Structure 1
Amino acid sequence: MNARENFESLLSGLSNAETVAPSSIGGQFYCEKKVDLEREHGEVETLEKQRGTETHEKAAEDAVEVEMDEVWDAIERGERQILLETMFVGEAADFTIVGKPDSIVFDDGEPQLIFDRKTTSIPGNLFKNQRIQVWLYGYMLDSLEFDTDNLQIAILSHEQSLDPEVGKQLQDVIIQSYSGYSTGKTELSKEPEAYIYLFDYDPTDHLEDLDWALEYWRGDREAVPTKKAAKCRSCPLSTKCPDSLA
């Protein structure tokens, strides 16, 4: 089967599948116990989450909604497609991964760029949980049997105080001209801080991490809490956590 057929097959079986989101797997590398508590109690709305939602809504305000069949037709014709907040599915062992990358750029029938945006208090550092989440978007496309040999990943990381309109402009520039940036970390703004992290997608980068993460979803082990008290102090679920270091 080709990528479209694989996608449609997974989508049709979604109601009976064991599903997991890239954001949840990424979250396991921040604090797996927090992911576990969110499954039990639900996510808590925080100022940081609210700010992130606002920036994503601003970035997508000019997007035109189209049917997925139209998207696939355009991809198969080799047309350049810039998709925003579009749901994709993929396979990881006995699980179906379901996620919405901030943006994917397709050209010549193949994915060329996965773009993700992080609103954070420490944009000068790219943390493992952030990188794994975005890598999983590439892994999803790989599992659909897209050619990912030329696929790159770009992460725009900035402070919460960055004006949403400025953030939208930076996002548009990166998506349109990412090939003009060097791989690695590039500073885009000193105040508020903003950086782009650009790297090549490698399907083998986090396979061991993925195997470890899926052990939890299979029920093979209990959730592992963070060992960093600072994370516990900022966690909105710390009062419900028996392992809290706060």
Structure 2
Amino acid sequence: MPITLGPSTIASQFWCEMAVDLRRKYGEVSTPEKEMGSEIHKDRFLEVLEEIVVEIKTPGDRLHSNVHNMKVGLELYQKEGLTRELPILAKFDSALIMGIIDEIKEIEEIEIQGKERIKTKKTQIVEMKTRRSLNPPSSQQILRDKMQGMIYWYGLNMMINKQTEMGDFWQVYGVDLIENDFNELILSEEYMESLEIKKEKQKEYGTLLSIGNMINDTLKTISKLPELSKHIEIIYIHQKTLTEVHREKYKFDERFFTRGMKWALEYWSGKREPSSVGEFNNWKCNFCSYYTVCPTIHKKWKE
């Protein structure tokens, strides 16, 4: 069965793969900086869309919520040329990639067609990172974030080009197509009540068949987006002042991306042990939440 990975998890391997491995073993470590970053992202989302709190009880609830968010985000993009927190789902080799893009916006780019310069509408991916410091990010941080942006680019491009299938959704959320009748409800009553779906309307929204139709319609909508711009932007924001401290604009590099993904997936498929940062980059250890449990640090202490 394919493993499901988030773009930020894969990108974190390019910072320190050992920390990714320790996160799997010991869980996520919450910090004030992470919480503040999440709040800033949420505030940016609320600038363009309304948040609806729902009660998730079943895999079907999670699936419907994700596709619903995708659908609403696409509707806003079609109307305004901008949306935030857009979910994506795609496949790379044996892995399913599921994540949420910070922002996509419609831009115009000049293309050379013969002797003419033509203005063309494109969709651009924009990622936002928050920083404690007013200093620009290090080259190692930028490398990690560039990889994350490229994963989002790859995922959205797959969806625009109709390479994400309905079956990928059932698989990633663990919805059993054999056990469930297509006309039976797979959404919980609590979830439908939180969405204010009336009893007489539940069959229209909550069956395997109706959710399948919703997925199909959403995939058709996403395939009609303007072609992706090769240029990706990362904006670094200072957490306290919300001022921009750095902006990175770069192109999707297919060779770098493919080699990086194959290297990253070797770890997830069990082909190799997690690698540490090495002596040249051991300054990263000073910023790590897993410092006290890291076997590489323990080895250095013994030496």
Asked whether the two chains share a fold, i.e. TM above 0.5, the reply is yes
> Given residue 116 of structure 1, which amino acid in structure 2 is its aligned partner?
E
- Residue of structure 2 equivalent to 1:132: 147
Does the CA-based 8 Å contact 2:76-2:82 persist in structure 1? Answer: no
User: Where do 1:92-103 residues align within 5 Å?
Assistant: 92-103=92-103
SS at match of 2:48: coil
1:11-62 Cα deviation digits (max 9, x unpaired): xxxxx64211110111001100000111111111113212211221222222
Cα offset for 1:153?
0.9
8 Å CA contact 1:156–1:196 kept in 2: the answer is yes
* Larger Rg, first or second structure (1 or 2): 2
Aligned residues: 201
Cα gap change, 1:199 to 1:223, in 2 (>3 Å): same
Counterpart Cα distance in 2 of 1:91 and 1:111: 23
TM-score (norm 1): 0.71
Distance 1:212 1:159 in 2: 32
Counterpart check, 1:216 vs 2:267: yes
Question: Over aligned residues, Cα RMSD in angstroms?
Answer: 2.8
- Give the unaligned 5+ runs of structure 2: 52-67, 109-120, 162-222
Kept after mapping to 2: 8 A contact 1:152/1:198: yes
User: Which residue of the partner structure matches residue 258 of structure 2?
Assistant: 207
Aligned counterpart, 1:20: 5
Identity %: 28
1:85-164 correspondence runs (5 A)? 85-106=85-106, 112-120=123-131, 121=133, 122-126=135-139, 127-144=142-159, 145=161, 148=227, 150-161=229-240, 163-164=241-242
1:95 and 1:154, CA in 2 relative to 1: closer, same or farther beyond 3 A? Answer: same
The structure whose residues are more often helix, as a share, is 2
Assess if the C-alpha contact under 8 Å between 1:117 and 1:155 holds in 2: yes
User: In the aligned structure 2, how far is the partner of 1:148 from the partner of 1:200?
Assistant: 14
Question: Match for residue 38 of structure 2?
Answer: 53
Do the aligned partners of residues 107 and 51 (structure 1) sit closer, same or farther apart at CA in structure 2, a change above 3 Å counting?
Answer: same
Is 2:19 aligned against 1:34? yes
Deviations, residues 62-112 of structure 1 (Å, cap 9, x unaligned): 22249433555677xx6554221121111111111011111112579x861
Which amino acid in 1 is paired with 2:126?
F
Q: Deviations over 1:168-197 (max 9, x none)?
A: xxxxxxxxxxxxxxxxxxxx5xxxxx1211
Q: What are structure 1's unaligned runs of at least 5 residues?
A: 1-15, 168-187, 189-193
State the secondary structure of the residue aligned to 2:249: strand
